[in-house]
Amino acid sequence: MGGTPNVGAKSRTLLHYRIQTQSTAQGTTADWLRKWHLQKPGSNPPPIQQIPAGIEYLRQYTLDGAYITPQQENETSKAYKRRIYNTMVTLLRETPELPVMRITRLWDNRDWATV
């Protein structure tokens, strides 16, 4: 797979892989994953309501984890990261764009970011 990498997918891949490796260690992230039973992929859609809104990276990990199976015994770390990356690219590609509000279409000459 050549070309320019998808930066969003790459950063989410690294986040997912890092959290997954931390889940087996001791520390706050591992404790949270055990507390909310997030060490293994769960149901789809995942129950992110149980995770406080302030821990957004863990909520994103939970959402993405519904589509990523754990690393297989015979799978190298590089192959696993590649599989996560491909999944993230697909997820980002399939995410629908938010609809443009009618008022912004009617008054397109306004600076809506300021408003």
- Contact by Cβ (8 Å): 61, 16: yes
Structure tokens at 15: 């986040």
Q: Give residue-wise pLDDT tens across range 24-55.
A: 777 777 777 777 777 666 666 677 778 788 88
Domain boundaries, the chain: 7-106
Residue 83 has pLDDT above 90, yes or no: yes
- Least confident among 18-32, 69-83, 95-109: 95-109
What per-residue confidence (pLDDT) applies to 74? 94
Structure tokens at 23: 């889940």
CA nearest 21: which of 77, 85, 95, 96?
77
Mean pLDDT taken over the chain: 79
